[in-house]
Amino acid sequence: MSGASPAPGVSVPHPAPTWLPDAVASAGARLVPPGPGTDALLWFGGELDELRAALASAPGCRWVQLPSAGVDSYVDGGLLKAPGVAWTSAKGAFSRPVAEHALALTLATLRHLPERARARSWGEPTGTSLFGARVLVLGAGGIARTFLDLLAPFGTRNVVVRRRAEPVPGAERTVTTEHLHDELSRADVVVVAAALTTQTRALVGAAELSVMKPGAALVNIARGGLVDTDALVAALTSGRLGGAALDVTDPEPLPDGHPLWDLPTALVTPHTADTREMIEPLLRARIEKNLRRFVAGQTLVGVVDPVAGY
């Protein structure tokens, strides 16, 4: 009678979080150094060359867990092409804090809070209510869906733009990107929540900004490269847009002295929609779930499509 198969080996190239050894053991796996005994690799961030070296040392690796929702840097680095490896990201895991931030930025922009925060005199009454507004959401992932849930009490009329025109809960309609310009011309608020890929880079450029409804608000909580920064500055400077609120920029960090810092209708937060303190328990829950699923041979959560890039 042959012996039982050894528990799957899980490796962490960097020092592991204090909770990880117990999580690995509870799932029925074992921590091993990166190498021939590695079946799964948990990556908590660092230089891509380090991840590439860890993979090269572990020819039997079948799964890599990434710490972020976006995977554009890993796609650009060619890492997702490793044969026989399933890649999972944190997509969907951080949707609540990011959607909360998107709502905060939306309300701040509609109520002209960036201008009022800079004001030193009473000024004129101004502002737009979110109740009943037309909201266009670019993307249909976890953040977009959670944001739509948060919009429910406001009675907004929501449209989603995505690759496939499949229904999304909370949206009146779902359209494909070929109809983007038509929808931009109707929206009071445009929220960018799509993944950054080769196809979506500068998804909102000069042409898109030019067809947006005059006075509309733009909110980006996804990736800075989805919006053409120079075109956005021009649209805000001309007064065509009512305002823009960005948690992500291109370039990032946004340099000191950049025009966006001085525009009264622009609000920039330093990629803080999901701080480390917010995401650590959420990432832990995702990793613990995927460890159990990996050991049990079940489908993993947050699987990345290397072709689509997210």
137: pLDDT strictly greater than 80: yes
In contact, 188 and 133? CB cutoff 8 Å: yes
Q: Which tens digits make up the pLDDT trace of 28-57? A: 999 999 999 999 999 999 999 999 999 999
Q: Is 252 a catalytic residue?
A: yes
Among the options 271, 284, 292, 293, which is catalytic? 271
Q: Residue ranges of the domains in the chain?
A: 9-92+276-296, 95-268
Q: Which tens digits make up the pLDDT trace of 257-282? A: 999 999 999 999 999 999 999 999 99
CATH architecture of 9-92+276-296: 3-Layer(aba) Sandwich (3.40)
- Give the mean model confidence (pLDDT) for residues 102-117: 96
Q: What is the pLDDT of residue 3?
A: 55
Contacts of residue 49, Cβ cutoff 8 Å, sequence gap at least 6: none
- Assess if CATH 3.40.50.970 describes domain 95-268: no
Contacts of residue 134, Cβ cutoff 8 Å, sequence gap at least 6: 156, 157, 159, 186, 187, 188, 189
25: pLDDT strictly greater than 60: yes
* Token pair recorded at residue 250: 């291109």
Q: What is the pLDDT of residue 270?
A: 98
In this prediction the pTM is 0.92
Q: Which tens digits make up the pLDDT trace of 71-95? A: 999 999 999 988 899 999 999 999 9
Among the options 100, 115, 252, 288, which is catalytic? 252
Choose the weakest-confidence range: 12-21, 177-186, 237-246, 292-301: 12-21
Counting residues of the chain whose pLDDT is more than 90, the rounded percentage is 94
Q: Mean pLDDT in the chain?
A: 95
Residue 257 forms beta bridges with which residues? none
230: pLDDT strictly greater than 90: yes
Same fold, 9-92+276-296 and 95-268: yes
Q: Is 164 a catalytic residue?
A: no
* Token pair recorded at residue 86: 């399933």
Q: What is the pLDDT of residue 249?
A: 98
144: pLDDT strictly greater than 80: yes
Q: What is the pLDDT of residue 1?
A: 40
Q: Which tens digits make up the pLDDT trace of 59-69? A: 999 999 999 99
* Token pair recorded at residue 165: 């025109």
Among the options 96, 101, 145, 223, which is catalytic? 223
Q: What is the pLDDT of residue 4?
A: 61
